[in-house]
Structure 1
Amino acid sequence: MDLVEATQRYYRAVDAGDTQGVVDWFAPDAVYHRPGYEPMRGRAELQAFYSGTRVIASGSHRVDQLIVDGPSVAVRGVFTGVLRDGTQVTVGFCDFVDYDEAGLAAERRTYFDTPAV
């Protein structure tokens, strides 16, 4: 399985506003840890987050570094976008993703360089 492509598929989907594509990238019982939120567990909670709870209205991710180690991927990059309140943001991020045997994201942890999004 190509975890570089799988990871890039997530960023393409989220930047395109493809909520279903984003949710489908996660395993059915996935857990997503994100600063400022309780851990999101399962596709129903992820669907609720990406379709409404998420403070980001639109934007794009630039991946500067992507490292694969077995079933795990580490990503460093920059997000530039607009929040739902109209605020424009540019924020550095790191994602750590553990994939399951089917190539779906089983656990994801996101960190930001400023508490903005």
Structure 2
Amino acid sequence: MDRESVARRYYELVDAGDYDALVALFTEDVVYERPGQATIEGREALRSFYEDGRPLSNGEHELHAVVPDGNTVAVRGTFRGEQNGDAVELGFADFHEFDGESIARRYTYTDRDTV
């Protein structure tokens, strides 16, 4: 699977709640950064975040742009779903940095303070 396809697959798996397949897209030592939030390091911490710590749920990502550039795939879109039980719609920009065919670093920027 090429890097753009891996990035697109990430959102499909998040929306489906398939965390086994989702975590498999990442390197063992993945680093996930979200401004203003604690950095997530390693696959197990990433799994824990998606299973227990992610404040967003029951939603879908709509991708507006997916732009591969070398080892990075930039994605811009909208998430519609719930945050802590309340309906939300928020814009996001993500950057997925790859090591080979796996995501090694991920950065998320949103138009909300906490996601």
Partner of 1:30: 30
Tell me the distance in 1 between the aligned counterparts of 2:75 and 2:35: 16
Per the TM alignment, residue 66 of structure 1 is displaced from its structure 2 partner at its CA by 0.8
Number of residue pairs matched by the alignment = 115
Q: Distance in 1 between matches of 2:46 and 2:36?
A: 15
Cα deviation for residue 38 of structure 1 reads 1.0
Query: Aligned-residue CA RMSD in angstroms?
Result: 1.2
Whole-angstrom CA distance in 1 between matches of 2:62 and 2:111? 15
Report the equivalent of 2:10: 10
Q: How does 1:85-104 map to 2 (within 5 A)?
A: 85-101=84-100, 103-104=101-102
Give unpaired runs (5+ residues) of structure 1: none
After TM superposition, which residue ranges in structure 1, 4 or more long, deviate above 6 angstroms?
none
2:99 aligned with 1:65, yes or no?
no
Match of 1:51 in 2: 51
Question: Which residue of 2 is the match for residue 20 of structure 1?
Answer: 20
**Residue type of the partner of 1:59?**
G
Identity of aligned residues (%): 42
CA distance in 1 between counterparts of 2:88 and 2:95 reads 22
For 1:106, the aligned partner's letter is: A
Kept in 1, the 8 Å contact 2:10–2:25? The answer is yes
Looking at structure 2, the residues matched to 98 and 49 of structure 1 have their Cα atoms a distance apart, in angstroms, of 19
- TM-score with structure 2 setting the length: 0.94
Structure 2 CA distance for aligned equivalents of residues 116 and 88 of structure 1: 14
- AA matched with 1:89: V
| Structure 2 residue runs without a partner (length 5+) | none
Q: Distance in 1 between matches of 2:36 and 2:113?
A: 8
Which of 106, 109, 112 in structure 2 is aligned with 1:108?
106
One-letter code aligned to 1:95: D
SS of structure 2 residue aligned to 1:37? coil
Q: CA deviation at 1:116?
A: 4.8
TM-score, with structure 1 as normaliser: 0.92
The 3-state SS of whatever aligns with 1:76 is: strand
For 1:111, the aligned partner's letter is: Y
